[in-house]
Chains A and B, each alone.
Chain A
């Protein structure tokens, strides 16, 4: 695990948890946990962290380059009700039930 003394800007720091870290997280989450559960959770949580480390470079976070800034939106911004979703009804449906507000 990285420490303040060893930190270097831009370094590819290792990400992961051990039993001690999982026990600390469980205290933060007020989660009762036996030693066996903590050990199992180390394995599960590390597999999740490995997953999300695969998202580097996909443009989720801010970028400010060449006069433009970018980020990925959240799915929540596509709601309500998928109004902006491609193919909304596509004009190919027939109304067999009353439409609530004319959408």
Chain B
């Protein structure tokens, strides 16, 4: 069976096997690389696979294990890196033609942190151009091989869901870790703004960018987040907040959620849902209640303004970053990024500033809600992965209540209010639609309290069956 091959082990299981001598790092990495070679023609999640350096690092990890050297919790384990995050000596195109053959000389700080914890870089994963979109061509969703994997970290989420990596890095300025995690049935967290260094990361938005891990279990997300996080004096956005051991804090899921106060928004966040998403969320809330959590209604009055304010900010900042490309490389950018950046060039400064004022009102709403509850639960997306990869933009979604919207809004509507407030949001799978496409739930915590989201996510995850490979891949074994 496919799921018995080593590359399907989760990070915790693979680490135990390596440390127990049941598996060598070379065996694990070689099996993973073989699976990528076998399956990626259909999934197209990778832009570069650094097989030679990964195997060499695996052999070094085995020598270290044999010598009793412990380099950290990721020793001997492979990870993928979204192609807007620098990996030394590996081409970084950011999904665009305008970057040419750019190859960074140094690792991004977050990649260096993972290597320091013993991790092995497997290569670069597909991103939507400049992390500015939610379809991530040409990557495909492994759950049906036809739909988009979301984005902009679509390659990272597809690779993890497909068993091509036990973990991968994404970036999230709008929703780009969380919507691909939801659409691919895996876990991903947007950390608090400033928690993880963005040095060496191609920015999409100067005031919103974060880097987050995508894995198949909550515990693995916690392990990655601990290893990734650090204060970076070179990053003006970096926080000095202490980095906890998130994996240790996420433990204790078996003891339930007694005393946990979970907020359920009364406005905005449960409006206009596909029927299967609504059903899965109802079931998820009942599960949380069954674990001992108490559910409390909360209101976030400015949430409806988050998406318009986000677009005003994001397109203007993208226009500033693409200033030279717009003027001197006509036709270089893709149609959608070019169009957004052009409009961003015409946003009035007064509206940009008003959008930043709106961010403050949105943050105040969340802060007020967190005076009453420990955590707030929302759907991750309003719809599942409906957009076909060959025509992923300008698709509309119809809801049972008669509401209709562009698929881009369906994938970001509930995630953007969290990004605008700079708060952490964890996505965990909570069901599937009638076509077997995954559905995700978002757990939002106060700033720098990722541990609470991870603990609740782990407890919820423990009530569900373990991760099973997408049927098309299980059948291909």
Q: Name A's B-contacting residues (CB within 8 A).
A: 22, 25-26, 29-33, 37, 40-41, 44-45, 48, 51-52, 54-55, 58-60, 71-78, 81-82, 85-90, 92-97, 99-101, 103
Contacts and interface: CB of A to CB of B under 8 A. Distances in A.
B339 interface: yes
B357 A72 contact: yes
Given A74-B360, A85-B446, 8 more contacts: A52-B312, A55-B305, A74-B356, A74-B357, A81-B241, A82-B194, A87-B449, A97-B243
B346 interface: yes
Given A82-B239, A86-B371, A89-B242, A72 B312 contact: no
Closest 4 CB pairs of A and B: A87-B446, A51-B308, A93-B244, A85-B447
Contacts of B327: 30-32
Nearest to A87: B446
B241 A55 contact: no
Contacts of B194: 81-82
Contact of B360 (A26, A29, A75): A75
Given A52-B354, A81-B241, A41 B346 contact: yes
A21 to B, nearest CB: 9
Given A82-B194, A82-B448, A75 B359 contact: yes
Interface of B: 192-194, 207, 226, 229-231, 238-245, 248-249, 302, 305, 308-309, 311-312, 315, 326-327, 330, 339-340, 342-343, 345-347, 351, 353-361, 363, 366-367, 370-371, 420, 422, 445-449, 451-452
Contacts, number: 163
B326 A48 contact: no
Contact of B244 (A29, A77, A78, A95): A95
B372 to A, nearest CB: 11
Nearest to A76: B356
Given A48-B311, A75-B363, A29 B345 contact: yes
Nearest to A74: B356
Contact of A96 (B244, B312, B340): B244
B339 A41 contact: yes
A26 B452 CA distance: 48
